[in-house]
Amino acid sequence: MDGNYYMIQDYLIFIGVFAIFLFVSVSIYLFAWNRRYKKLNKKLAETNKIVQQRLNEVQLEHIGTKLNPHLFKNILNSVQSHAYQTYMSLDKLANVLDYILYESNTRFVSPKEELNFALSLIEINKIKINPLFDFRIKFNVNKSDVMYEEKVFAPLISVDLIENAFKHTDFLAQDCFISIQIELENRVFGMKVSNKASEKKTLEKEKSGFGSQSLDQRLKMIYGNHYHLNRSSKNGIFNAELIINLGEFYDQMRYS
């Protein structure tokens, strides 16, 4: 009887010690796991913060370009609506995207870079119009002009005038047309865009104002008195003419 009593007592002691050992082991494991979880959670939070910060920077960079928010949509719609010209369109689109993502982040580009971008943008927009449509382009650029490769041109300045012409033209009207003239001579850049709009679009323009106020503000902030932008409309024909005296602006930058 005494022997059985002591055996049971020893067994209970063993069970108690084992339970304590198991409890301590589990507690240590849970404590270690909790520390690892907190460290991992902290690391994930830091990573998320870095990613969010970078996203904010990217958004700010793109906002800083003052790019027309409908530019990408208009381009992709043009590409999609004419699948048979997809290869050429994507080639031009690649040039446009490269320029927007890389060159436009700088304060100034050369007229050469901006004009190459403008021509690619025009080619992309052209694919959505009928081959018989009256589209005129005159490109009179003196590539030997001293300003041609100087960093004096604010990137994406040409977007607004080109996009407005294609966006607001009545392509179904019998006498519809788009005319684009681009010049660079004697250190002066000139761009004139004309188009025929429908009566409905004319009324919309009269209510909202022709052109972009942000373009006016940007030109004034950058070029001061060295530019001239004139917009006019008569009988449904809209004209926008931009002239920038790049030579005078360059001289001012050098000697100021």
Q: Can you give the CATH number for the domain in which 237 is found?
A: 3.30.565.10
- Amino acid identity of residue 162, one-letter, is I
User: pLDDT (tens digit, 9 = 90+) per residue, 140-187?
Assistant: 999 999 999 999 999 888 888 998 888 888 777 778 899 999 999 999
Give the domain range for residue 214: 79-255
Contact 202, 155 (CB under 8 A): no
Q: What confidence tens digit (pLDDT) does each residue in 14-49 have?
A: 566 656 766 666 667 666 766 776 776 677 677 667
Q: Do 56 and 84 lie in a common domain?
A: no
If one compares 63 and 3, the residue with the highest pLDDT of the two is: 3
**Do 130 and 236 sit in the same domain of this protein?**
yes
pTM of the predicted model as reported, rounded to 2 decimal places:
0.62
Amino acid letter for position 231: R
Q: Which of 129, 116, 120 is nearest to 78 (CA)?
A: 129
81, pLDDT greater than 60:
no
Decide if pLDDT at 63 tops 60. no
Domain co-membership, 127 together with 242: yes
Same domain for 57 and 103, yes or no, is: no
Question: Pick the residue with more confidence: 65 or 223?
Answer: 223
